[in-house]
Chains A and B, each alone.
Chain A
Amino acid sequence: MLSATFHLVSAEKILIEFKGSYLAYSYDFSQIYGEDVRFRILTYEVSCDHLKIDISARLFYAYGSVVLKKEGERLEGDEFFFNPEEKRGTLVSYKDIVEVKRLGSREGLGAAEAEKEEDIAFPTDLLETLTLSKLQSSLFYFTCEIIQVTEAYEVLGERVILHLEGLEAVGFNKFKLSSGLKQRSSGFSLDKIWFTKSQGIIARGSYRYRTPDRVNSLTQLNYEERSVLKDYVGPDRQVDILNSTSFVIDKDTNASFTGNYNSSNLWNASLVLNKKWSQSFSTNFDISYNKPINFKGETWFGFDSTLYGGHWGDLALAGRYEVQDQVLGSLTYGKTFLERFSLLLNSMYSKIKIVGSDDYSEIFTGGVSLSYDSRVFNLSSDYYLNHDLFGSQLLSQPQLRVGINPFTFYGGILVASVTNIFIYSDVKLGAEHQDSYSNNTIFSLSTQPMYMVPGLSLDMSVAVEQFLEKEDRNFTSGGFIGRATAEIRRGFFLEGLYNFQSRRRTRDWLIEGTSSQDLSAIFRANPSNRLNSWVSFSYDPKNGRWTQSFADISFEVIRKWKFHTLVNYDFILDKLNNIDLFLVREAGRVQLRFMWRSLSKQFSVELIPR
């Protein structure tokens, strides 16, 4: 990421230049603050007391003694919102009323644009929260007297001082302050040359080709030279070439190509043509080739169409053919009728070559689902069919699902629900025939948190499940979870959690089963953004022993540096299972992390773009 920052100064055209007594640019937030600033826009020379710019949001705002001058004209105001790309601005004066004067190109604006332009007089909270103090809290910020913004919204500075974590670090005569927020229009870019002890020499480059509203193509090259590494087992070097290209053929037709080549003899390519026949009907045609490592390549031709038929329902149809006689096909139809009924039909056929043989698996599956959903209950009936034509196996499986929607009672404190699912399966394998059925009933009852005294709440839930099947393997399961939460003082909580689970198997007169219990205590502390932690201890009352302890502790050390640790202790094994330590600096668009993990015994530093 930083390697991109230290690129040579861009040769792109300058969109606007600012001169001031003090200009600060934050790399973290991509924002600019200025004092006593002068710039030129719309043939006006502009001067102001303060300047705020949010590069990402394209917001430009000058305020305090704003004066716009050109030959024979002088305008004064308190605020000036401007857009150098669209060459327009709005001057606002706070007198007895708020006076607004618009400048620049406004002709030909539609209603939406005009409304957007109205909004410019009242910018988002983004500018109101942009302060010099915020920028000075950045991990990287720069100060200088001249800042230029290019047409690609890259930021250049002259006679720049870099401030690293608030400390003056080093000066530069001319420097590209940002990494560029908009991709360059066309051309080659060498993005990175790097060396690491684990990967060797890494080089990354890209080539972008773009014609406005027609072609957009990006080719990326990744090269890793590993022969320089000691004791490295594997290929000396690896090359990856990736291409992604999209073409707009006309307003209803576009195409895209993706290709990927890897020097380990793996490559794939696909071409997709999308045609929109009408607002409700579109089709994709595609050709693809995929060459996995050590296997023969496959060439597929396919299409998929979607038809949104309004009250007639929606239909999707797809088919694919491979030159080695492999076939995939699917049909889906869905419709909602009489407001509460839904119908879904789907069928799929596949004929796929079995790896390592000349045989094909051939499977036909189909399903139909009809459901009804009312405010009180829901009912769904499904039928599923799977026909393995190669193995001559036919599975048909109807099922019926009935449920009472969760309902509240006892003044809204209690919530209950009941669901029942019945499944019947019929399997035909050649001349043999087998059938089975099962029924599953689930009842659950839970409470909302009940405040016994101020700062102490209780909530609990109970669930019972009965599973019956033809083979007489019947199970009854039940569980109870109870939780008490006490707020000791603002932001500090003590929680107690009791969990009991029981599973019983009944067969004729025999009842067998097991039960488990868990008692946990959790201490949480999140009184402010600077401290957010919890520690838990678990106890097994059934066996009378402590089991586990977890801790997740996070607090701010200094200037947005946060210390974070994850700890797990196993009382049964009397062993510290895991401890991870993090020191994290949140820096706007990047995050800097120093990490140590006990499991891998590795220390690492990461700079992660966000």
Chain B
Amino acid sequence: MKNRWIFIFCVITLFVGERCVSFKIEPLPEPEKLVKTLVLCKGIIPDGELLAPVDETADFVLGDSGVICFLELTNVSQAMTLKWKWYAPGGALFKETSAVPVNENRLYIETVTAYDKLDTQDEERFAGRWVVVILIDGELAGRQTFSIHGQ
């Protein structure tokens, strides 16, 4: 009797499970040029062949040596360009880098690290909320907001 109930339970489970579970679904390919890390920091140190951020923060004060926007990309196999655009409080473009070419030889690179630095001065006009955006091949790939506080 007990075995019969177990058999019925298994049949129902397989019937329902077969409708839901599938072993034919193909895994999706991992996205390329993936932004793994995008942070603001006060310094950069070498980390093997790569770079690493130190003193990560989104709050700066007038008199800090500058604001660094650090980027870490993974799964890179195509040539591309990187660009940073810094927008001051009020929304005006303050600084724009040139398009920096990366992986022109089209090799597979597991991790790419790069950064740009905004040199701030001890002037009240720098105080407020800023936005920095990263463009990969001219298209927005990430953004960070940060504040510079008056002393």
Q: Which residues from chain A sit less than 8 Å from chain B, CB to CB?
A: 21-22, 35, 49-50, 63-65, 78-79, 94-98, 122, 125, 128, 131-133, 143-145, 159-161, 168, 170-175
Contact = CB atoms under 8 A, between A and B. Distances in A.
Contacts of B80: none
B2 interface: no
Contacts of B31: 21-22, 35, 132
B20 A98 contact: no
B141 A64 contact: yes
A97 B25 contact: no
A98 B131 contact: yes
Nearest to B138: A65
Interface in B6-41: 19-25, 27-31, 34-38
A173 B22 contact: yes
For the complex of A and B, list the 7 residue pairs with the smallest distance between their C-beta atoms, beginning with the closest: A171-B25, A98-B91, A78-B140, A171-B22, A35-B31, A133-B36, A64-B139
B85 A94 contact: yes
A172 B20 contact: yes
Given A65-B139, A122-B145, A96 B24 contact: no
A144 B85 CA distance: 33
B35 A131 contact: yes
B28 A175 contact: no
A530 to B, nearest CB: 16
A161 B19 contact: no
Contact of A94 (B25, B29, B140): B140
A292 to B, nearest CB: 41
8 contacts: A21-B31, A49-B139, A64-B140, A79-B140, A128-B145, A133-B34, A133-B37, A172-B22
Contacts of A98: 87, 91, 131
B143 interface: yes
Nearest to B87: A98
Contacts of B74: 133
B131 A122 contact: yes
A35 B31 CA distance: 7
A94 B87 contact: yes
B121 interface: no
Nearest to A159: B25
A133 B85 CA distance: 24
A171 B27 CA distance: 9
B143 A171 contact: no
B92 interface: yes
Interface in B102-150: 129, 131, 133, 139-141, 143-145
A594 B28 CA distance: 32
A136 B127 CA distance: 37
B28 A131 contact: no
Contacts of B93: 94-97
B68 to A, nearest CB: 16
A252 to B, nearest CB: 42
Given A171-B21, A172-B22, A21 B28 contact: yes
A161 B23 CA distance: 9
Interface in B32-58: 34-38, 58
Contacts of A95: 93
Contacts of B22: 159, 171-173
Nearest to B22: A171
Given A63-B140, A97-B93, A143 B37 contact: no
